[in-house]
């Protein structure tokens, strides 16, 4: 294989349709490519050493010898095993899944900077100000944040960078440690202090360091127009900050404070501005969306917010993420049924299905209550798409409890599902619980759950064949008469796609009706309806 320019190793489950798609893409490029498919459990050191690109998770002990490796694309959010010293070869890029919650905050900061004359660049080498918005919700996210800070620190000492600023959850959590241990960092802003970004930059340029940690009360006020970075046709609307749940595994309430809703009039004004800029889909996010307004208006008011947002003519879809199942209330469901712009889609972070595990997690639902809520939603909206997230390997989780979770997932047939391995976070009750689970066991259980979900998703996809769906176009497939889009069943960044075969000319943001003709595990294939 010495004459090949790119050797691609694929270790995730791939069916014949996937293989055909990948090989067609490889053949259409300007590089000679060889794609090899190897079961993840059967990958050898020789396989890894030959690879220029690896798609999927392989044993980290094999990576250090991969001298040809240019890109490792993980199929999970977890990256902590790969970013340890000596694992990744020098120059190789590690990519994994990331969250979208902090994007709204970043875009507000960008808007403030642009309004005051700053120019945005996509080049770290050219940037004079570098802002890192961090996360430390789980260990993997914390490690990724640290890695990003260290990577950007190089430009502070040997580049154009004059200000290196860190904000977000890690900044709130570790405060003085960041500046003490990473001297290249000039300024640190806590989670409720991002409105002070201009003050921070000015002080640093004047020769001082800057730290600001506002009380976790109220909400920062930024009047500047937000900079949309998602491509222009969908955008996230952050409707609240903080959380009052205090689940035993979660540090978020300590880092972001109690639940604070954004006033409805501010959200409507922000949504109108984004719609005028071409945004057609709003994705509502918060640590919990379901109880929006309870602190401001004395009762859950998400349904009222939805009704007002639906009045914005330019919007086509409104999608709701992060709905705690116990807080879903009748008026919300009724509004979803009545308002055609509200997607029949809910993200329900249930975390587990065993009653004892749920109790020790500090969750406020039982297994039966979860079943009842899911049955209720499906009876009210038979076409609803339900997404959920799970935590596997929680302290004390037995084989029997893991099996119970597998059986629950098999019975419920969630349309979308993600699995995190439990991450012990300092300062949380769960971190000090007895019977912590070995990492290898966590990863094995995660793989079992995802393999089951892959089968479920494939079957659900097959049921879609012959149906007609409204699809929003997001881009064109290179060198083919085909486009990539999403239906109401697909949230941006976390769910699958609809591949649309058509000779017609379409542009991003177009809505077309598509007849489904084929299905992959997570994606659908279709053609324009006649």
* Residue whose token pair is 């060198």: 479
d(CA 252, CA 233): 30
pLDDT at position 404 is 98
d(CA 384, CA 521): 19
Whole-structure pTM value = 0.76
C-alpha separations of 370 from 23, 29, 422 in Å: 42, 48, 21
The DSSP code for 63 is G
pLDDT at position 99 is 47
pLDDT at position 141 is 60
Q: Which CATH superfamily is domain 103-212 in?
A: Methylthiotransferase, N-terminal domain (3.40.50.12160)
Confidence band of 23 (pLDDT split at 50, 70, 90) = confident
Tell me the pairing of strands 468-476 and 511-519.
antiparallel
pLDDT at position 172 is 82
pLDDT over 60 at 17, yes or no = no
pLDDT over 80 at 18, yes or no = no
pLDDT at position 36 is 84
Q: 387 forms bridges with which residues in the sheet?
A: 347, 416
pLDDT at position 93 is 63
What is the per-residue burial (b if ≥16 Cβ within 10 Å, else e) of 489-519? Answer: bbbbeebbbbbbbeeeebebbbebebebebb
Q: In the predicted model, what is the mean pLDDT of residues 479-507? A: 90
Strand arrangement of the beta sheet that strand 93-95 belongs to: 33-37, 6-10, 53-55, 71-73, 93-95
| Region of 7 on the Ramachandran plot (φ > 0 left; ψ -120 to 50 alpha; else beta) | beta
Q: What does the pLDDT look like over 391-409, one tens digit per residue?
A: 999 999 999 999 999 999 9
**344 versus 196: which is more confidently predicted?**
344
Helix (H, G, I), strand (E, B) or coil at 67: coil
d(CA 101, CA 287): 8
Packed helices 302-309 and 330-338: angle between N→C axes, nearest 10 degrees: 20
CA nearest neighbour of 168 among 117, 109, 222, 231: 109
C-alpha separations of 229 from 105, 122, 221, 522 in Å: 12, 12, 20, 25
pLDDT at position 161 is 93
% the chain with pLDDT above 90: 53
* Dihedral pair phi/psi, residue 510, rounded to 5°: -65, 145
pLDDT at position 335 is 98
H helix or E strand, kind and range, residue 189: strand 187-189
pLDDT over 50 at 78, yes or no = no
pLDDT over 80 at 142, yes or no = no
Confidence band of 97 (pLDDT split at 50, 70, 90) = very low
Packed helices 103-115 and 197-205: angle between N→C axes, nearest 10 degrees: 60
* Residue whose token pair is 């960044």: 493
Q: What does the pLDDT look like over 190-220, one tens digit per residue?
A: 888 888 899 999 999 999 989 888 888 888 8
CA nearest neighbour of 357 among 404, 403, 397: 397
* Residue whose token pair is 């995730």: 12
The DSSP code for 266 is H
Q: In the predicted model, what is the mean pLDDT of residues 226-230? A: 71
pLDDT at position 74 is 66
Domain ranges of the chain: 6-95, 103-212, 234-464, 468-528
Q: In the predicted model, what is the mean pLDDT of residues 317-337? A: 96
State the chain's mean pLDDT as an integer. 86
Confidence band of 336 (pLDDT split at 50, 70, 90) = very high
d(CA 372, CA 220): 39
* Dihedral pair phi/psi, residue 409, rounded to 5°: -65, -40
**232 versus 458: which is more confidently predicted?**
458
**Contact by Cβ (8 Å): 304, 293:** yes
pLDDT at position 77 is 43
Q: What does the pLDDT look like over 101-141, one tens digit per residue?
A: 567 777 778 888 888 888 888 788 888 999 988 876 555 66
pLDDT at position 510 is 92
Continuous H helices in 116-229? 139-158, 169-181, 197-205
pLDDT at position 98 is 43
pLDDT over 60 at 79, yes or no = no
H helix or E strand, kind and range, residue 336: helix 330-338
Fold observed for domain 234-464? pyruvate-formate lyase- activating enzyme (3.80.30)
The distance of Cα 63 from the centroid of its chain, to the nearest Å, equals 26
List the end-to-end C-alpha distance of the chain, in Å, as a whole number. 46
CATH number of the domain at 468-528, out of 3.40.1370.10, 3.40.50.300, 3.30.465.10, 2.40.50.140? 2.40.50.140
d(CA 106, CA 168): 9
Q: How big is the CA angle at 116 (ends 160 and 105), to the nearest 5 degrees? A: 85
The distance of Cα 98 from the centroid of its chain, to the nearest Å, equals 5
Domains 6-95 and 234-464 share a fold: no
* Residue whose token pair is 């009762």: 299
pLDDT at position 226 is 74
Most confident of the following: 11-25, 193-207, 294-308: 294-308
% the chain with pLDDT above 70: 88
Q: Does domain 6-95 have CATH number 3.40.50.720?
A: yes
pLDDT at position 522 is 85
Count of Cβ atoms closer than 10 Å to residue 97 Cβ:
15
């Amino acid at each position: 294989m010495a004459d090949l320019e790119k050797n691609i190793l694929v270790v995730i489950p791939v069916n014949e349709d996937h293989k055909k798609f990948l090989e067609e893409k490889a053949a259409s490029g300007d590089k000679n490519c060889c794609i090899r498919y190897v079961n993840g459990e059967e990958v050898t050191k020789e396989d890894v050493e030959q690879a220029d690109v690896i798609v999927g998770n392989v044993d980290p002990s094999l990576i250090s010898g991969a001298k040809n490796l240019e890109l490792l694309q993980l199929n999970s959010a977890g990256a902590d095993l790969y970013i340890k010293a000596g694992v990744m070869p020098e120059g190789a890029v590690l990519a994994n899944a990331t969250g979208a919650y902090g994007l709204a905050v970043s875009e507000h900061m960008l808007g403030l900077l642009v309004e005051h004359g700053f120019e945005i660049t996509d080049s770290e080498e050219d940037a004079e100000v570098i802002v890192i918005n961090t996360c430390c919700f789980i260990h993997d996210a914390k490690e990724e944040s640290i890695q990003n800070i260290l990577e950007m620190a190089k430009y502070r000492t040997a580049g154009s960078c004059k200000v290196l600023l860190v904000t977000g959850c890690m900044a709130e959590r570790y405060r003085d440690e960041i500046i003490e241990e990473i001297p290249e960092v000039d300024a640190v802003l806590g989670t409720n202090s991002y409105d002070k970004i201009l003050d921070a930059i000015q002080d640093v340029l004047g020769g001082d360091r800057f730290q600001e940690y506002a009380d976790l009360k109220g909400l920062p006020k930024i009047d500047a127009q937000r900079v949309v970075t998602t491509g222009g046709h969908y955008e996230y609307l952050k409707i609240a900050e903080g959380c009052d749940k205090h689940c035993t595994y979660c540090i978020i309430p300590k880092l972001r404070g109690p639940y604070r809703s954004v006033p409805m009039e501010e959200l409507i004004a922000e949504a109108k501005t984004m719609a005028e800029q071409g945004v057609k889909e709003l994705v509502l996010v918060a640590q919990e969306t379901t109880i929006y307004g309870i602190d401001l208006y004395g009762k859950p008011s998400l349904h009222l917010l939805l009704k007002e947002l639906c009045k914005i003519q330019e919007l086509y879809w409104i999608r709701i993420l992060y709905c705690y199942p116990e807080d879903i209330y009748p008026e919300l469901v009724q509004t979803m049924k009545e308002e055609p712009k509200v997607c029949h889609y809910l993200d329900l972070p249930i975390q587990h299905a065993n009653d004892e595990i749920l109790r020790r997690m500090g969750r406020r639902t039982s297994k039966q209550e979860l079943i009842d809520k899911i049955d209720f939603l499906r009876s009210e909206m038979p076409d609803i798409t339900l997404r959920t997230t799970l935590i596997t390997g929680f302290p004390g989780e037995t084989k029997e409890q893991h099996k119970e979770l597998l059986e629950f997932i098999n019975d419920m047939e969630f349309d979308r599902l993600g699995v995190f391995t439990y991450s012990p976070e300092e300062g949380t009750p769960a971190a000090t619980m007895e019977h912590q689970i070995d990492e290898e066991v966590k990863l094995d259980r995660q793989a079992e759950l995802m393999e089951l979900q892959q089968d479920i998703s494939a079957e659900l996809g097959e049921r879609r064949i012959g149906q007609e769906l409204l699809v929003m176009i997001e881009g064109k497939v290179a060198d083919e008469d085909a486009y990539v889009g999403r239906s109401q069943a697909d949230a941006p960044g976390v769910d699958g796609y609809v591949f649309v075969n058509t000779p017609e000319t379409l542009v991003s943001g177009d809505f077309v009706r598509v007849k489904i003709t084929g299905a992959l595990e997570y994606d659908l294939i279709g053609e324009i309806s006649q």
